[in-house]
Structure 1
Amino acid sequence: MSAPNSLLGTLLHAVGGISAASCYLPSTKTKGWSWNTYWLAQSIFAWLVMPMLLAWLTVPNFFSIIAEAPSKPFWMAFFLGGIYGFGGMSFGKAINHIGYSLTYTIAIGISAVVGTIMPLMVFGGLGNFFTKPGGGIVLFGMLLSIAGVVICGWAGFKKEKDINAEKLKSAGFNMMLGLVLSIIAGVLSGVFNLSLEFGQPIADMAAENGAGHFEGNAKLVVSTLGCFVVNFIWYIVVGFKQKTIQEFLPKNKNVTTQEPKSNLLRNWLLSSLTGMLWCLQFFFYGLGHVKMGEFQFASWVLHMSMLIFFSYIVGVIMKEWKNVKKETYAILLVGLFVLIVSFCVTSYGSY
Structure 2
Amino acid sequence: MANPIVGTIVHAVGGVAASTCYVPYQKVKKWSWDSYWIVQASFAWFIFPFLVGFLTVPNLWSVFSEASTEVLFNATLLGAIYGFGGMCFGFAIKHIGYSLTYTISIGISAILGTIVPLIMHGELAEKFYAPGGYIIFFGMFIALLGIIICGIAGYRKERDLKGNTTEDGAPLHFNMKKGLTLTLIAGALSAVFGISLEVGAPVAEIAGNYGAGNFEGNANLILSTGGAFITNFTWFTIVGIKKGTLQELIDVKGVGRKNLMLNFGMSILSGALWYGQFFFYGIGHVQMGAYKFASWVLHMSMLIFFSYIVGIVMKEWKQVTKQTYFTLVVALIVLVLSFIIMAYGSKQGAEIAASR
Same fold, judged at TM 0.5 (above): yes
What's the CA shift string for 1:77-135, capped at 9, x where partnerless?
Answer: 10111111111111111111111111112222222111110101222223444466766
Aligned to 2:64: 66
What's the CA shift string for 1:289-333, capped at 9, x where partnerless?
Answer: 112222322222221222122111111110000111001111222
* TM-score normalised per structure 1: 0.91
Q: How does 1:160-239 map to 2 (within 5 A)?
A: 160-165=158-163, 167=165, 170-239=171-240
- Quick check: 2:49–2:218 contact (8 Å CA) kept in 1? yes
How far apart, CA to CA, are the structure 2 residues paired with 1:173 and 1:97?
A: 5
Aligned to 2:318: 322
How many residue pairs are counted as aligned between the two chains? Answer: 344
The amino acid of 2:268's aligned partner reads S
> 2:325 aligns to what SS in structure 1?
helix
> 2:316 aligns to what SS in structure 1?
coil
Out of 94, 97, 100, the residue aligned to residue 96 of structure 1 is 94
- Offset, 1:5: 2.0
- Quick check: 1:51–1:220 contact (8 Å CA) kept in 2? yes
What's the CA shift string for 1:55-78, capped at 9, x where partnerless?
Answer: 010011112322342111111110
How far apart, CA to CA, are the structure 2 residues paired with 1:57 and 1:99?
A: 36
Out of 239, 259, 267, the residue aligned to residue 263 of structure 2 is 267
Aligned to 1:310: 306
Q: Which moved more, 1:228-237 or 1:43-52?
A: 228-237
Aligned to 2:82: 84
The amino acid of 1:278's aligned partner reads W
- Offset, 1:151: 2.6
What's the CA shift string for 1:204-227, capped at 9, x where partnerless?
Answer: 111111211111101000110000
The amino acid of 1:284's aligned partner reads F
Aligned to 1:154: 152
> 2:278 aligns to what SS in structure 1?
helix
- Offset, 1:343: 4.6
The amino acid of 2:74's aligned partner reads M
How far apart, CA to CA, are the structure 1 residues paired with 2:204 and 2:224?
A: 12
Unpaired runs of at least 5, structure 1:
253-257
How far apart, CA to CA, are the structure 1 residues paired with 2:13 and 2:123?
A: 30
Unpaired runs of at least 5, structure 2:
350-356
How far apart, CA to CA, are the structure 2 residues paired with 1:310 and 1:191?
A: 22
Aligned to 2:73: 75
| TM-aligned CA distance change 1:176 to 1:145, over 3 Å | farther
- Offset, 1:11: 1.7
| TM-aligned CA distance change 1:225 to 1:68, over 3 Å | same
What's the CA shift string for 1:136-193, capped at 9, x where partnerless?
Answer: 5555544444443333222222212212436388443211221222222222221111
The answer to whether residue 2 in structure 2 is matched with residue 4 in structure 1 is yes
- Offset, 1:7: 2.2
Out of 54, 57, 63, the residue aligned to residue 55 of structure 2 is 57
How far apart, CA to CA, are the structure 2 residues paired with 1:302 and 1:139?
A: 11
Overall identity of the aligned pairs, in %? 54
What's the CA shift string for 1:22-67, capped at 9, x where partnerless?
Answer: 1111111000111111111100000000000110100111123223
| TM-aligned CA distance change 1:77 to 1:149, over 3 Å | same
The answer to whether residue 118 in structure 2 is matched with residue 120 in structure 1 is yes
Q: Which moved more, 1:54-63 or 1:104-113?
A: 104-113
- Offset, 1:339: 3.5
Aligned to 2:20: 22
The amino acid of 2:222's aligned partner reads V
Out of 286, 297, 301, the residue aligned to residue 290 of structure 1 is 286
How far apart, CA to CA, are the structure 1 residues paired with 2:156 and 2:121?
A: 41
How far apart, CA to CA, are the structure 2 residues paired with 1:46 and 1:148?
A: 29
How far apart, CA to CA, are the structure 2 residues paired with 1:180 and 1:342?
A: 27
* TM-score normalised per structure 2: 0.89
- Offset, 1:286: 1.0
- Quick check: 1:217–1:283 contact (8 Å CA) kept in 2? yes
Aligned CA-pair RMSD = 2.1
The amino acid of 1:180's aligned partner reads T
